[in-house]
Amino acid sequence: MGFSSEPIVAIATASGLGGIGIVRVSGKDLSQLSRDLFGKLLDPRKAELVKVLDDQKQVIDSGIALFFPDPNSFTGEDVLEFQGHGGTVVLNLVLQRILVVGQKLQMRVARPGEFSERAFLNNKIDLAQAEAIADLIEASTEVAVKSANRTLSGEFSNAINNVVQKVTHLRILVEATLDFPEEEIDFLENAKAKEQWQEINLAINKLLQKSKQGSILRNGALVVLAGQPNVGKSSLINQLAGNEIAIVTPIAGTTRDRIKETIQIQGVPIQIIDTAGLRDTLDTVEKIGVERSWEAIKESDLIIHVKDATQQSNDNGYKLEREIREQINNFDNSIPIIEVWNKIDLSNQGENLSGIKISAKLGIGIEELKEAILKQLGWSDQVENTFIARTRHIEAIKKAQFHLEESGKYLSRGNSALELFAEELRLTQENLGEITGKLLADDLLGKIFGSFCIGK
* pLDDT (tens digit per residue) in 144-202: 888 899 999 999 999 999 999 999 989 888 877 776 655 545 655 666 888 999 999 99
Indicate the pLDDT class of residue 10, thresholds 50, 70 and 90: very high
> The dihedral of CA 241, 242, 243, 249: what is its sign?
positive
pLDDT at residue 107 in the model: 94
CA atoms within 13 A on the CB side of 281: 19
Pairing of strands 268-274, 18-27: unpaired
Torsion angle in degrees (nearest 10) through CA of 364, 226, 286, 249: 0
Please calculate the CA angle 231-235-239 and round it to the nearest 5 degrees: 135
Cα separations (Å) of 354 from 3, 240, 312, 338, 350? 61, 21, 11, 11, 9
Q: How far apart are CA 262 and CA 144, in angstroms?
A: 14
Q: What is the topology classification, in CATH, of domain 8-126?
A: Gyrase A; domain 2 (3.30.1360)
Domain with CATH 3.30.1360.120 in the chain: 8-126
Which amino acid, residue 209? Q
Residue pair 31/7 in contact (Cβ under 8 Å)? The answer is no
- Given a cut of 80, is residue 45 above it in pLDDT? yes
- Given a cut of 60, is residue 427 above it in pLDDT? yes
pLDDT at residue 313 in the model: 65
Using one digit for the tens of pLDDT, what is the confidence trace for 200-248?
A: 999 999 999 888 888 888 888 899 888 888 888 888 988 888 876 544 4
pTM: 0.75
Residues whose CB falls within 8 Å of the CB of residue 227, separated by 6 or more in sequence, listed in order:
233, 277, 278, 305, 306, 307, 321, 324
Domain with CATH 3.40.50.300 in the chain: 127-437
- Given a cut of 50, is residue 276 above it in pLDDT? yes
Q: How many CB atoms lie within 10 A of CB 442?
A: 9
What average pLDDT score do residues 283-290 get? Answer: 66
Residues whose CB falls within 8 Å of the CB of residue 254, separated by 6 or more in sequence, listed in order:
229, 230, 234, 247, 248
Please calculate the CA angle 151-128-74 and round it to the nearest 5 degrees: 85
> The dihedral of CA 379, 381, 384, 385: what is its sign?
negative
> What phi, psi does 282 have (nearest 5°)?
-100, -10
The CATH number assigned to the domain with range 127-437 reads 3.40.50.300
Q: For the chain, what is the total number of helices (H) and then of strands (E)?
A: 15, 12
Using one digit for the tens of pLDDT, what is the confidence trace for 319-330?
A: 777 777 777 777
Return the bridge partners of 108, or none: 8
97: closest CA among 242, 68, 89? 89
Return the bridge partners of 222, or none: 271
